[in-house]
Structures are given as structure tokens and as C-alpha cells.
Structure 1
Amino acid sequence: MSKYGKEILIGTVPVVIVFLYFLGVNIIPIVFMTVILGTFLYMNRARNGMGVGSDRKSRAAATPSYLTFDDIGGQERAKRELKEALDFLIRYDDIKRLGIRPLKGMLLTGPPGTGKTLMAKASAHYTNSIFLAASGSEFVEMYVGVGASRVRDLFKEARTRAQKENKDSAIIFIDEIDVIGGKRDGGQQKEYDQTLNQLLTEMDGIHTSESPRVLIMAATNRKEMLDSALLRPGRFDRHIEVDLPDKKARLHILNIHAKNKPMAEDVNLELIAQETFQFSGAQLESVMNEAAIYAMREELETIQQRHLSLAVDKVMLGEKTDRESTKEERDRVALHELGHAIVAERVRPGSVSQVSLSPRGKALGFVRHNPQSDQYLYTKEQIEEQIMIALGGSVAEEMFYGGRSTGSRNDFEQSLQMVRTMMDSGLTRLGIIDRSMVTKQELMKENGAILEDLTGRTRELLELHRPVFEQSLEILIAEEVLSGEQFRQLLAQHSKVEQIA
């Protein structure tokens, strides 16, 4: 409806109602229906506007087009593979001459916080394309057909904006695509199916033209949930894995986030990169941010090394809490953590950095380990050693209190997960197995046998170091922190006594 049409309608309706009133007509039903109709039209317009219209335009306009691949730390393999695929948009004449079919879509997969969305934004800058972003949840409505309509409008808007801004291409990015791209099981979720079918149709190119070219990029951390029709060549032609960064990539990311922060001259970011094994890019950014907050709390001009170490602990375990525990609880927690530390130091000498009784998050205490080199393959012996370290806390409690506590819950979860890894890797007496072909009783029997054997070995090791518990406990209770060097000195003294005896 045009602007003047709306004004005429707004002016006519009151006049007609007043005229009917003077004629003696009961206007209450008419007014009531007019209000309902107006409310319905207003809500319908607002819902359509919240879809792929004005809200997305404002969000797309706010999206920084200056983000480049150099601004993204690490992920060199993923960036290289992505640039190669994006060259199909830039070198269109070359691929046409060679008879190469243009790519329709690229799927970015990997854990949360690894930079998938940043790569999509950098891709738009790299190709000088229009960039439109949406989330999978935006296409899901209780009304059948709304999601499909929004998909059509999204592609239409991409082409329209590209033509208006004289761009040769447009990139549409859909985050969390598993919301609308999940496997179709023939159930009653008609809205999801219609939305997915419309997306498949748009990606097939039935309603597209050669110019402007539209490339769809999507991100998910649950690739296994996507429908096979989405993953086939001709739709998502490239599947790019965006993994957690290695040590070199972590250092790169830390340096990027340190550019706008005043760092002390003696800060060693390489040490922090070593300590943050298995951290995502988002977690590394949080480490730098939390370190700056610690410096601000102390009203310092620069960020110190200790601030970064505290920030690593906070991101891993949470903020320090003010929980007040009884003496018995503190003693139990101290013995529990010392159990972890003694086993860790014996199976991996030099690995303990600190034993702490400071509550963080849900943890009442923790053992901090020295940085280890990135490792992606483990032998049976290495996994067994890791399980023994996890069991050390509960075994120490049994030695001194005759039973366990709820504080061992997380340790047991880690142990069970590592036993599962051993089974799936063929490192147990069951050999190479398929879980679906082995009974639950057999799996439970083998699981129990492994944990019982490792618990016995852990108990034997800790019984040999009972005097270390008593000496370390006094220091840990008094100071709440026991450094790795202090702890190793106590172990060395015990070893000398044993040799003399």
C-alpha cells in the first residue's frame, strides 16, 4: 500500500464510523472488528520486518567489512583452503574458460569459538562481496511456510543489494545451520522440512542467475546432524575444518589481542601459549581480557605475567569464590589435591607447577601442571598414567578417611572417558571392538577390571609416600598454596630418607 493510500484509509475509517453512528447503526461490533483487524495487520508486518528485512539490513550494515584474514589468528590451513575456494568468485573468467563449475556453498565445521564466523566476514572483504548474516534459529517459526519465505527473501535481498551497490557477488552466512539443516526423518516437523527444502532449491540454482553470483557459507559444530542432501557436491562443495589452534597459532592469537593492551616488558606470551593447550580462540581472547581486568583491579599501568597466569586459571576453572569451609573439609581437600600431585610428579617428573586450596568455580582446590608440548596421540601407558593421576585424589581420601567424597565426581568422569577411549582404540584386553557387537556386561566387566587395577597401582604408589602427605599438608593448610619447587623438595627429602633406610 502506498503512502497516500494509507493516509486516505486512516482518514476515511473514522468518518465512516461517525456517519454510521448518526444513522443509528450499532457501531460497537464494527469498532471491535476494526481494532482486531488493525492489530493483526500490525503484528504481521512487525513479524515480517523482524525476519530478513529491516533488522537484517541494520545488522548487515553494522557488520565490519574491514575484517581481513590477517586479523584472524592461527588457522593457516583453514584460511589457505578457504582463500582457494573464494578465488572462484574473484577469478570468474578463468574458471569459466577452464569449464570449472562455480562453488555453491562452503561449510565451516569445528568446535565453538574457533573463528568460523570471523572467517565468513573476512571472506566478504577478500572477495569484495555483499555480506549478509543470519542464524539458523531466525528461520524457525510456529507458522508453516514462514521459514521458507525467509530463505527466499534472504537470497533475493542478497542479489538486490549486490546489484544496487554494483558488486559482482554476495556471500550469505548462516550460523548454526544444523537448526534448519538437520536430517529429515519423515516426522511431523513440516516447518523444518519446508525451510530446508527451500534452502536446497536456492542452492541448486533453479532461481539464480550468473550475475550477481551468490555464495552461501554456513557454520556448525554438529556436522553429523546435517541432512545428506545439504552435504552433497553441488550444494556445500567444500567442507573446511576449523580446529582448535596449536601452540604456534595460540601465540599468534595472543599477540593479536595484546596489540591494544599495555603489556609489561617481562611478559612471556609464549609461556601462556604453552599453558593453554586445547584453548579455543575465544578462550584465548578471554584470557587476555581477564588479565587486563586483574591489572585494573590492582590499579596498575601494565599487565603483568601473574595476571595472565591468574586469567588462565579463571578461564579454566572460574573466578575465586568466598566459600568458607570447615577444618575437616579443608584437610580433606588438601589431601585430595596432594594425592593428585604426588601421582603426577611420580609418573611425569617435573609436571606439577602448583598445588592450591583456593576455591575456583565449583572446585575447592586444584593442581596446576607445567606446560607440556602439544600431543595428539597417546599410548596405552600414557593413558593409564593419566587415569592414575585422576584417581590419586579419591585414593588419598580412602587412605586417610576410609572413604571417598563427592569431590571425586569429576575425576571419575575423566577416568571413565579415558577408559572409553582405550576401548575404542583397541588398547584393552577386548582388542579391536565394535561397541554395538559387544554386550554391556562385557564392557562393564572390562571397565571395572581396568579401573580396579589402576586404583591398586595408585594406592601402592601413594602408600610409599605417606610421610610426604603429612609434611605437605601443614604447609598447604597454612599458606593455601604449595609451589612445584617446594613440593619437589619434599619428595626429594623423602626419597633420601628411603635410600638411607
Structure 2
Amino acid sequence: MPKRPYGGYGISWFYWLLLGFILFFSIVSNPLGRATEISWAKFEENVLAKNAVERIVVVNKEIAEIYLKKDRLDDEDFKEVTDGVLTSEIGPHYYITIGSVESFEGKLQRAQEGMPDIEKIDVRYENRTNWITIFSWLLPLGIIILFWVYMLRRMGGGGAGSNPLFNFGKSAPRISEKGTKSSATFKDVAGLKEAKAEVMEVVDFLKNPETYTKLGAKIPKGVMLVGPPGTGKTLMAKAVAGEAGVPFFSMSGSEFVEMFVGVGASRVRDLFKKAKEKAPSIVFIDEIDAVGRSRGKINAFQANDERESTLNQLLTELDGFGPNTGVIVLAATNRPDVLDKALLRPGRFDRHIYLELPTKEERKEIFGVHLRPLKLSENVDVDLLAKLSPGFSGADIANICNEAALIAARKKKSEVEQQDFMEARDRVIGGLERKSKIISPKEKEIVAYHEAGHAVVSWHLKNVDSLVKVSIIPRGKSLGSAWYLPEERQIVTKSQFMDQICASLGGRAAEEIIFDEISSGALDDLEKVTKQAYTMVSYYGLDEEIGPISYYDSTGQNERILGKPYSEEMAKLIDKEVQNLVTTAYERTKTLLLDHREELEKLAQLLLRQEVVDKEDLEKLLGKRSEKILADGAK
């Protein structure tokens, strides 16, 4: 007999046969199914009075079955119970539901005494098993059992002996066996030279362990990949899977956590058991912060400590009393501040590899990787693309390349050109252009002067990033925008902070100067300025009144405290200094715009005419930026 896909034999026909047998047996075994119910008055008048009763059988003291004489079955009076019934000679032909045996016997005796010519009727008593009642509750139970058997067989997914109820605590990692070629290799990991070297050393240890062990070195038990989103942590793990040549087990941290207590810990045990069976091997846990959060006061408010028990089991597997030879654990997270300290200590995760946002040269390498599958025009300048994308992660660069290809395809081009990459960059940063958005002439004029204010202020301040273009075309949620080319700084001075705040306030100051009225269009600017000012005062210690004091908490412990880490008096002082800082910057911005009001007017009118002003137009209108800054400094 052929096997079914789920491992068992095709026995569904047995279920149907069993159900049919039950139904047939219930019909055949129920004699009342062939009888007609009759009341006592009709029985006495139409049956008993005609001397047609052969016998009466009282069943379980509840039902009285009435059997007719065989020679009376052909009478016209009883055609209703004999016509069309194959077993009409067997009976019973009628039945009466009796209240009690004594009452029934009394009525039958009185009726027979009133009919002296009628033969005495034989009355018998029987106790029968009521199969209908039994099957009435057995059948639904059987249907439920069959349903669950069917569902468990469907969910089992394994061999004939698999049972998902026992596999609930099993892990289901994605396994890359030895000899299976991964789609990613270290050639696909551009930039990240230092991080790649660290990981490649682990891979080399797995390939050539004797090189290290002969000197007494031990392989790291765990490698933690830490970095902002999109910097290539998961890609690095995929490259390890493609290069290592050993079994690679991959799971997400959230796959360990269930609503049932103990399942997460069980899955951790099962995962490491599978990894040890195929040692040497690599286990990769993506987004480990889902199970590795710090155990602290916040867990006291949670009724279910499933996450904590999962973490405890993970700690034990990484560096407990049991041996863990030949298993290397890779983990990735972008939130190392929330991880438990016991998880990060040497002996568990010996190496912490930080993947930072790529530099200009690294961005150039990343562009080279993502430009391979594209059909490029000769005018594509990779150096310029890398220069115009500071602060972009590898994922952002991949998105820009894909968007550029989509834009070129939308325009029915045969090649992807430089302009397509510029449009893709603008779309990724600012959102989709909304030229169809209707703006009144008055609002458009306000937006033009607002953006011109940003441009003029930033053009004359030396510590503001270089301005690339200004636009009053609605894009995303904004009605206009000024595009800058940020410099890659490692530290920011107080004067640089102040110039950036002034540049952000340029739009609001221009509205006040030109229209003698302010609008709600500066909301995003004010939010940015306020946050930046509070950061300067309370984090970086750049305020003279408060002094070199920082309330920044790199450990993340203050997030669990409901109050602030400083007194009410200090809070008032911080608020006052922030207000003074922003007010001073705003007055400085207004003074600068008043000194260059003519340039502000010209730039705003130019924006109203052509909507987008590039760097070349800005230089024609405002002069060379370096010369302007030197001239302002001389004044």
C-alpha cells in the first residue's frame, strides 16, 4: 500500500467505513425507528378494542412496544404501519411512552375488564442497552478525536513517529550543511576591513585549527557583531556561512520566545545539542537583544519570566559546566546597551566587533558591489556618489542603486545614468516629489523665503555643511528643502553646534524679517534645534553656567527610572540655559539676514521662478562661499 506524504498509510477510508457502520448499526439496532408512536386513547379505541394486539413488551420501564397479530397486518385499519415496511411482520408496530409501570398496568387492566370479549394480552418486561444514547455522546467525541488526529498528522511534518506535541520545545534553525554553497561570500562584504579580518580569523580557525592550537590558543566561543541598522551584520554572518565549510545554524532571537513558560529554554538546549552533534559548527543568533535583555527591575513588573529563563539557559550553554567544544556562536544586535552584562563577558562573547557607518572609501567599495548587476552609463561617477552619500549605511546604498535602476526603467532608458542616481538619492533622503500638491501663491512665497533664509545663513557661516541645492518642490511631508553635503566629523565643537543651530533657525528668522509674521512651517527646525540645545547643555557640558556636567547614561539604566537624574533646581537651570542659547542664536541669525537682506530677496525670487536652485546658481547669486566667509571674518 502506498504511503501518504505525511508518513502514515492511507487509512482515511477506514474512518469513513467506521462512520457508515455506526450510522447503519444505529438505525438497524433501533426497533423504534420502524414503529409509530400512538397515544393511549387511540390505542384503546383503534387497536385494543379490535383484538389486534398479540403482545406488549415494556422496555426499561419507559417504552411499551405493541406487536400486532400477524393475521391482522393486512387489515385496512393498520395499513399506516405496514405499507412499505419490509420488516412489518417483525414489529413492533406501535409504541407508547409510559409514565410508570404501575399506571400503565392499571390502565391496561381496566381497559381489558371493560372488554370481556378481548383476549388477555401478554405483557413482558425487558432491559435493553440504549445504543442510541451511547452513540449520541460517543459520536461527537469520536469526531473531535479524529479531527485532532488529522491536525496533528498535518502539523507533524516528519516521519511516522513524529508528534508535534513533543516537538513543541524543539528548535527549527535554518541549517547550511557542509558543501552547501551560500549565496554570499566575503567578496560581497565591501568595506568593513577590520571587522572582516576578525571574522575571517574565526573561519580560518575552523579550517586550520592546528595552526592555532599548537601554540596553545583557544578559539573564541562567541563573536558579537554590533552596529547601526544596515551596516552589514547579517550579511557578515551569511558570508561566514558561505566561507566556513562547516554546518551553520541560523535563528532569530525572537524564535526562542513563546507565550508558554520553558519553551524558549528548551529550544536553546535543542539548538546547541544539534550544533554539538555536528561540531565543529557555527550558531548564528540574529537580533539577540530579543532574548538577551538585561535582567533587572523592569522584569519585576512582568508576570511571565520566559525571556529571562531563556537567557539563563543561553548563558549556561555558552559557558556553563558542560563542555561546548567545537561550537562557535555568532550574534548580531544594534542595541548593545540593553544586553545583559553576563552575556557580554569574556568566556561567552569573547570578541565584540563594531560595524560602523562606512567612510567615503568604504562607500565607494559598497557602491562597486551593488553596481555590478546594473547596466551603467559611462557618465556614472562612483567617486561622486560616494562623496554625496555621507552617513549612509550599506543598506541605504543598496536602496539607492535599486531606486536608480527603477527610475531609469520607468523612463524607458537603456542604461542607468548619473542623474538617475541623483534622483534616487533625493528620494531616499527626502521622499517622493509631489509636484501635483496644490499650494496657494501666498504659501509658496512663504516657503521660498523660508528656504532662502536657510540657504543665506548657512552660506555665510563657516561651520555649516556645504549647501548643494535649494528646492521649494514639495517632497514627502515637507513643502521645501535645503540640501547639504555633511562633512564626516568625529567630534563637534561648540562653535560648530551654534552655527548649525543658526542655520536651522534661518527659515523662521527670514519669515519674521520679510513678512513681520511667523508661521507653523518651522516646526521641524524648532524640534531639531531644541533637541540639539538640550544635548549641548545636559549631555556635552558645553554651557558655561552649568559647567562640565553630563547627565548622559551610556548604560541605559536611566531609562528604567521614572524621574530625572537631577533635581528640580537643576532642571529649571537647564531649561533657562537652553532658552538663552536658542534665543541668542536666533538673534544672531536675524542680524546676519538683515545684513544680507538683498541676497535673501534675490534668492527667494529665483526660487519662485525656477523652484530648484543648484550650487552653480547659488555661487552666481551669493558669490564663492569661501570668499564670503573670509570677508565676513575680516569684518
TM-score tier (shorter): 0.7 to 0.9
Shift of 1:352: 2.1
For residues 42-69 of structure 1, what are the alpha-carbon distances to aligned partners after superposition, in whole Å with 9 as ceiling and x for unaligned? 3674777798666x44898999615222
Distance 1:12 1:209, change over 3 A: farther
> Hey, what does 1:30 align to over in structure 2?
138
Give the aligned CA root-mean-square deviation in angstroms: 3.2
Map 1:56-455 → 2, pairs under 5 A: 56-57=173-174, 65-160=182-277, 162=278, 168-185=279-296, 186-187=299-300, 188-204=303-319, 206=321, 208=323, 210=325, 213-321=326-434, 322-348=436-462, 351-369=466-484, 371-423=485-537, 424-429=539-544, 430-435=546-551, 436-437=565-566, 439-455=570-586
Aligned pairs, number: 486
Which amino acid counterpart does residue 176 of structure 1 have in structure 2? E
Instruction: Kindly indicate whether residue 616 of structure 2 is the aligned counterpart of residue 485 of structure 1.
Output: yes
Is the 8 Å Cα contact of residues 88 and 103 (structure 1) preserved in structure 2? no
* TM-score, normalised with respect to structure 1: 0.88
Q: State the secondary structure of the residue aligned to 1:236.
A: coil
Shift of 1:16: 6.0
Q: State the secondary structure of the residue aligned to 2:438.
A: coil
**In the aligned structure 2, how far is the partner of 1:193 from the partner of 1:303?**
51
Which amino acid counterpart does residue 363 of structure 1 have in structure 2? S
Which amino acid counterpart does residue 478 of structure 1 have in structure 2? R
For residues 15-60 of structure 1, what are the alpha-carbon distances to aligned partners after superposition, in whole Å with 9 as ceiling and x for unaligned? 6666666372533433433444455563674777798666x44898
Shift of 1:132: 2.1
Q: Which moved more, 1:131-140 or 1:26-35?
A: 26-35
Q: State the secondary structure of the residue aligned to 1:27.
A: helix
Is the 8 Å Cα contact of residues 72 and 119 (structure 1) preserved in structure 2? yes
> What stretches of structure 1 of length at least 5 have no aligned partner?
163-167
Q: Which moved more, 1:294-303 or 1:349-358?
A: 349-358
Which amino acid counterpart does residue 432 of structure 1 have in structure 2? P
Q: Percent identity?
A: 37
**Residue 468 of structure 1, aligned match among 599, 605, 608:** 599
Q: State the secondary structure of the residue aligned to 2:350.
A: strand
Distance 1:350 1:409, change over 3 A: closer
Is the 8 Å Cα contact of residues 291 and 310 (structure 1) preserved in structure 2? yes
Is the 8 Å Cα contact of residues 17 and 27 (structure 1) preserved in structure 2? no
**In the aligned structure 2, how far is the partner of 1:11 from the partner of 1:5?**
16
Is the 8 Å Cα contact of residues 133 and 174 (structure 1) preserved in structure 2? yes
Distance 1:94 1:290, change over 3 A: same
**In the aligned structure 2, how far is the partner of 1:448 from the partner of 1:64?**
60
Is the 8 Å Cα contact of residues 73 and 252 (structure 1) preserved in structure 2? yes
Q: Which moved more, 1:306-315 or 1:16-25?
A: 16-25
Distance 1:285 1:326, change over 3 A: same
Is the 8 Å Cα contact of residues 60 and 133 (structure 1) preserved in structure 2? no
Distance 1:359 1:226, change over 3 A: same
Shift of 1:192: 1.0
Which amino acid counterpart does residue 217 of structure 1 have in structure 2? L
Shift of 1:401: 3.1
Is the 8 Å Cα contact of residues 121 and 131 (structure 1) preserved in structure 2? no
> Hey, what does 2:90 align to over in structure 1?
none
Which amino acid counterpart does residue 440 of structure 1 have in structure 2? A
Is the 8 Å Cα contact of residues 174 and 251 (structure 2) preserved in structure 1? no
**Whose helix fraction is larger, Structure 1's or Structure 2's?**
1
**In the aligned structure 1, how far is the partner of 2:526 from the partner of 2:350?**
42
Distance 1:36 1:143, change over 3 A: farther
Distance 1:195 1:372, change over 3 A: closer
Is the 8 Å Cα contact of residues 254 and 273 (structure 1) preserved in structure 2? yes
Of structures 1 and 2, the one scoring higher in RCO (CA 8 A, sep 6+) is: 1
Shift of 1:151: 1.9
Is the 8 Å Cα contact of residues 398 and 404 (structure 1) preserved in structure 2? yes
**In the aligned structure 1, how far is the partner of 2:589 from the partner of 2:523?**
17
Is the 8 Å Cα contact of residues 170 and 266 (structure 2) preserved in structure 1? no
Distance 1:343 1:373, change over 3 A: same
Distance 1:38 1:458, change over 3 A: farther
**In the aligned structure 2, how far is the partner of 1:189 from the partner of 1:283?**
38
Distance 1:404 1:90, change over 3 A: farther
For residues 389-412 of structure 1, what are the alpha-carbon distances to aligned partners after superposition, in whole Å with 9 as ceiling and x for unaligned? 111111112222334333222212
**In the aligned structure 1, how far is the partner of 2:178 from the partner of 2:415?**
36
* TM-score, normalised with respect to structure 2: 0.70
Which amino acid counterpart does residue 582 of structure 2 have in structure 1? L
Q: Which moved more, 1:250-259 or 1:391-400?
A: 391-400
Is the 8 Å Cα contact of residues 51 and 138 (structure 1) preserved in structure 2? no
Q: State the secondary structure of the residue aligned to 2:492.
A: coil
Shift of 1:98: 3.4
Shift of 1:10: 5.8
**In the aligned structure 2, how far is the partner of 1:317 from the partner of 1:467?**
29
Distance 1:417 1:324, change over 3 A: same
Shift of 1:365: 1.1
Shift of 1:74: 0.8
Q: State the secondary structure of the residue aligned to 2:543.
A: coil
Distance 1:244 1:30, change over 3 A: farther
For residues 125-170 of structure 1, what are the alpha-carbon distances to aligned partners after superposition, in whole Å with 9 as ceiling and x for unaligned? 332122222112212211222222222232233345x3xxxxx522
Distance 1:5 1:316, change over 3 A: closer
Q: State the secondary structure of the residue aligned to 2:442.
A: helix
**In the aligned structure 1, how far is the partner of 2:260 from the partner of 2:394?**
38
Q: Which moved more, 1:426-435 or 1:115-124?
A: 426-435
Which amino acid counterpart does residue 541 of structure 2 have in structure 1? G
Is the 8 Å Cα contact of residues 175 and 247 (structure 2) preserved in structure 1? no
Q: Which moved more, 1:33-42 or 1:379-388?
A: 33-42
Q: Which moved more, 1:180-189 or 1:42-51?
A: 42-51
Is the 8 Å Cα contact of residues 244 and 279 (structure 1) preserved in structure 2? yes
